[in-house]
């Protein structure tokens, strides 16, 4: 039985302690015993489905809004999108961070510590959502203008965002709670929570938008009703964990647990925050350079918003794989089973590569058909959308490396490396390129900044993981 002092000292676990793990504990846990490929399939498939279902919230709204309100409605959802990214950032900060801390602690046999990590993370997920809702409602119009809203889009964006903001606590709790539920060894439950909300959203979207003609407000109400149902389901399952028992006192937020959780969740959270910053700069750039082109202000914003969310479908597979990888690598790294850590990572990368090639082929060959799913537009509308698919997403076939590798470093308790890697694509490369290249190439420069950033981030990911594997004991 370890003392309170020794527990505190294990918040950052030295490698030699992991090697000296209690092997009896690890062999009794399926994460340390079952075949790696089987575990990856078991955890990744439900995670992928959960991520796909989450992306459906945005895709479904784009579909119904595009066919009822039109391009200005789609542009409005893109203006609001940075707030959705903020929700994901908070969910990953306490969801991935809490899951990683929980699994590492369980791998070390520190069950009491693990309970506090998970419970504190759950509490912070909901509190973070409440805070984001308050900020959004108080500063709604200034935020939307800051996000790059054209004047003819602003009212649509205000109607939509004012409503969806009410669902932020439930959206964040569902997304982040899903990671905690998976860490408890129940990936299918996480999938069910997300699936229930998405199905409700889809049905109510059709009812509110097409039958009741509620427009933007109808799509927003459908979204938050689905999120509330999913959030309540996730809360119920977390209250009935399989491997631990959460008590009321475990929910009291304490810095010694939250600091560890936040350190492990910083990498995926930083990646999302970077995406938010890039999205804001992107909207402003599309608005400015679009006004100087034949496309105008609204067409580039509408098209880029749709294509970003279509790309999220592909990224849902990749992120789902990385999330499925997390409990496997966290537990086995904590148990000192480094061969299983390497094997799990390589299997995840192989799966990601196959999916990335498929997505690349689709984006390059049928962009017109994809964009047509979200309503009709002018000749300029389709021309910009097709060019954006062809150019901005050209390096889709290597885009799997950075998110999988970033989450890998987080899962093995190396958040600094994970955070750096998560920032490479968005902040270190894409953001400056978005500012510099359009100065010489106009709106086309925005498109060409994407593949350059993707290629550089992919190469750095490969180098960092290879160096980590060389240092890792056999």
- 212 shares a domain with 69: yes
The answer to whether residue 287 is domain-embedded is yes
Question: How far does Cα 433 stand from its chain's mean position?
Answer: 23
Distance between CA 137 and CA 131 in Å, rounded?
10
- 290 shares a domain with 203: no
SS3 annotation, 156-169: HHHHHHHHHHHHHH
- Which domain does 368 fall in, by range? 266-473
- 371 shares a domain with 243: no
**For the segment 154-201, what is each residue's pLDDT rounded down to a tens digit?**
888 899 999 999 999 999 998 888 888 877 777 778 778 878 888 898
**What does pTM read for this prediction?**
0.70
- 184 shares a domain with 215: yes
pLDDT greater than 80 at residue 421: yes
In contact, 318 and 399? CB cutoff 8 Å? yes
- 211 shares a domain with 75: yes
Signed CA dihedral, 49, 55, 61, 64: sign only = negative
The answer to whether residue 433 is domain-embedded is yes
- 203 shares a domain with 99: yes
pLDDT greater than 80 at residue 28: no
**For the segment 87-113, what is each residue's pLDDT rounded down to a tens digit?**
988 998 998 888 888 877 877 777 777
The answer to whether residue 242 is domain-embedded is yes
**For the segment 275-328, what is each residue's pLDDT rounded down to a tens digit?**
788 888 888 899 899 989 989 888 898 888 888 888 988 988 998 898 888 888
Largest Cα span, the chain: 71
At 3 the pLDDT is 39
In contact, 54 and 87? CB cutoff 8 Å? no
Pull the structure tokens for residue 420.
């750096």
- 271 shares a domain with 213: no
The answer to whether residue 259 is domain-embedded is no
DSSP secondary structure of 159-213? HHHHHHGGGHHHHHHHHHHHHHHHHTT-HHHHHHHHHHHHHHHHHHHIIIIIIS-
Mean pLDDT (whole number) for 427-439: 92
Name the DSSP class of 326.
Answer: H
- 331 shares a domain with 285: yes
In contact, 108 and 10? CB cutoff 8 Å? yes
The answer to whether residue 53 is domain-embedded is yes
- 466 shares a domain with 398: yes
The answer to whether residue 358 is domain-embedded is yes
Distance between CA 326 and CA 398 in Å, rounded?
20
Q: Place 22 in a pLDDT band, splitting at 50, 70 and 90.
A: very low
Tell me how many domains the chain contains: 2
Decide which of 212, 228, 253 is a domain's last residue: 253
- 247 shares a domain with 273: no
In contact, 320 and 44? CB cutoff 8 Å? yes
In contact, 26 and 344? CB cutoff 8 Å? no
- 166 shares a domain with 78: yes
- 98 shares a domain with 62: yes
* CB-based burial label for 1 (10 Å; 0-12, 13-18, 19+): exposed
The answer to whether residue 8 is domain-embedded is no
Decide which of 208, 229, 253 is a domain's last residue: 253
Decide which of 201, 224, 253 is a domain's last residue: 253
**For the segment 364-407, what is each residue's pLDDT rounded down to a tens digit?**
999 999 988 887 778 888 999 999 999 999 999 999 999 999 88
Among the residue ranges 213-222, 245-254, 297-306, the one predicted with the least confidence is 245-254
The answer to whether residue 14 is domain-embedded is no
């Amino acid at each position: 039985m370890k003392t309170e002092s020794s527990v505190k000292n294990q918040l950052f676990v030295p490698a030699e302690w992991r090697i000296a793990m209690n092997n009896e504990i690890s062999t009794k846990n399926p994460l340390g015993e079952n075949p790696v490929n089987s575990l990856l399939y078991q955890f990744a498939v439900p995670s992928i489905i959960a991520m796909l279902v989450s992306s459906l919230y945005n895709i479904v709204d784009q579909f119904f809004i595009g066919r009822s309100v039109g391009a200005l409605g789609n542009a409005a959802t893109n203006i609001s999108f940075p707030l959705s990214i903020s929700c994901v950032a908070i969910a990953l900060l306490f969801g991935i961070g809490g899951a990683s801390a929980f699994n590492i602690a369980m791998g070390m046999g520190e069950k009491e510590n693990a309970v506090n990590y998970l419970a504190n993370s759950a509490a912070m997920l909901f509190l973070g959502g409440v805070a984001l809702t308050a900020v959004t409602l108080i500063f709604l119009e200034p935020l939307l203008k800051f996000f790059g809203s054209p004047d003819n889009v602003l009212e649509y964006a205000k109607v939509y965002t004012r409503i969806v903001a009410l669902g932020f606590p439930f959206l964040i709790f569902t997304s982040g709670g899903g990671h905690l539920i998976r860490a408890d060894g129940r990936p299918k439950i996480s999938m069910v929570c997300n699936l229930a909300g998405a199905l409700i959203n889809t049905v109510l979207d059709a009812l509110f938008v097409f039958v009741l003609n509620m427009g933007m407000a109808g799509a927003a109400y459908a979204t938050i009703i689905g999120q509330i149902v999913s959030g309540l389901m996730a809360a119920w399952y977390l209250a009935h964990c399989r491997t631990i028992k959460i008590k009321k006192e475990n929910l009291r937020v304490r810095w010694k647990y939250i600091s560890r959780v936040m350190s492990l969740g910083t990498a995926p959270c930083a990646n999302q925050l970077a995406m938010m910053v890039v999205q804001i700069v992107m909207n402003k750039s599309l608005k400015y350079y679009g006004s100087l082109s034949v496309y105008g202000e609204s067409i580039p914003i509408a098209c880029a918003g749709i294509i970003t969310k279509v790309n999220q479908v592909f990224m849902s597979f990749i992120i789902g794989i990385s999330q499925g990888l997390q409990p496997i690598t966290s537990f086995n790294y904590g148990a000192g089973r480094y061969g299983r850590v390497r094997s799990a990572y390589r299997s995840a990368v192989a799966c990601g590569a196959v999916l990335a090639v498929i997505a690349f082929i689709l984006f390059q060959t049928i962009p017109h058909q994809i964009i047509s799913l979200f309503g009709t537009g002018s000749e300029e509308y389709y021309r910009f959308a097709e060019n954006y698919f062809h150019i901005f997403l050209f390096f889709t076939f290597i885009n799997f490396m950075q998110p999988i590798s970033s989450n890998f470093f987080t899962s093995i308790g190396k958040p600094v490396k994970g955070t750096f890697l998560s920032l490479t694509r968005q902040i270190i490369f894409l953001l400056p390129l978005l500012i510099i290249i359009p100065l010489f190439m106009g709106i086309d420069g925005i498109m060409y900044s994407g593949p350059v950033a993707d290629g550089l981030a992919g190469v750095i990911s490969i180098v960092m993981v290879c160096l980590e594997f060389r240092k890792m004991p056999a």
